[in-house]
Amino acid sequence: MGINNQHEINGNPSIEELCSEFDLSTKEKDLICSWAFMSEKIMHGTPSGIDNSVATYGGVVTFCSGSMTPQSDLVGLDILLTNTCVGRNTRQLVATVRERYDMFPLVVEQILEAVEKLSLSALNTLQACRVKQFSDCAEEFSRLESLVDMNQGLLASLGVSHPSLEKVIQITAGHGLHTKLTGAGGGGVAFSLVTPGTEKIKVDQAKFELEQAGFKCYTAYIGGAGVRAWNLSSV
């Protein structure tokens, strides 16, 4: 996922305007990815490798049974990212899910299975949008919005939501946006789906209200380019 921070409110020129970009070799990207993975291990213990891989190589990947599969040409949706500014302890959140599993194994197994089926349904829907080149996809976008809501409900039932996340969900829902937690939950960042049919004024109003509530907002898009580099000596 690539975060687009090109629209600076202070009007200063961006790094793209000041410096010349250069291509990173596969070897250099592999090294960056390995460093990022080490930092993930320090922070989270046993990370999946998804975050560092997508941040380095870009695009969209699916993750199943420890295996990542790149998905091509799934670019066509924007996202509103909201930083709750609430820190989280991933290890503790994983432990919370484990505790619930130990108490209610049959229930939690069903929830996790439902999360997997929702993820596969979302992937199938995105692939259907790709066939249509993300044009005339109102039905598919509505399905994705429903899947976002359902996924958030399932994750909350596992104990990984947070009052700050629920506040973000409440505010964005008031403007017609569909929002869920990202990563381990427990605070951190939430994302709201912004389809081509979403009115810009609704997104702007949601951002304003979120920022008034003390949150930080960013715009992003699915399927970013990954890590990029610029030559500062050219300034």
Closest CA to 100 of 158, 161, 13: 158
Active site residue 51: yes
Are 171 and 213 within 8 A, CB to CB? yes
Q: Which of 51, 73, 149, 204 is catalytic?
A: 51
Look up residue 146 and give its two tokens: 């429903």
Helices (H), the chain: 15-18, 26-44, 50-57, 90-103, 105-131, 138-157, 163-173, 200-212
Q: Using CA atoms, how far apart are residues 29 and 98, in angstroms rounded to an integer?
A: 34
3-state secondary structure (DSSP) of residue 159: coil
Identity at 35, one-letter amino acid code: W
Name which of 174, 203, 222, 178 is nearest 78 in CA terms. 222
Q: Which among 197, 196, 199, 169 is positioned nearest to 181, based on CA atoms?
A: 169
Catalytic residues: 51
